[in-house]
Amino acid sequence: MVIQQRHDELQEMESRYIRKDLHLVAIIMAVVLGIVAFLYFYDQHTGFMNIISPRLFDNLIK
């Protein structure tokens, strides 16, 4: 009985940490995706990425 209770507590703690980690990963992915989208649309208007690497973005767009 005590062992089962401890097991349940441990599982609950684990799932709580996993949920926190997944939230962190989701937030990081959203931020990175936002930055990439911003750079892509900003580049469409200004072309400032051509200074860094002109061929890279031409190949990505095609």
The answer to whether 50 and 59 have CB atoms below 8 angstroms apart is no
Give residue 28's pLDDT: 96
pTM for the whole thing? 0.52
**What pLDDT does 30 receive?**
96
Q: Could you state, in order of their start, the residue ranges of all structural domains in the chain?
A: 2-61
Q: What is the pLDDT of residue 52?
A: 62
Which H or E run includes 34? Answer: helix 2-46
Q: For the segment 1-60, what is each residue's pLDDT rounded down to a tens digit?
A: 788 888 888 888 888 877 788 889 999 999 999 998 888 887 776 666 666 666 665 666
CB atoms near residue 49 (< 10 Å): 16
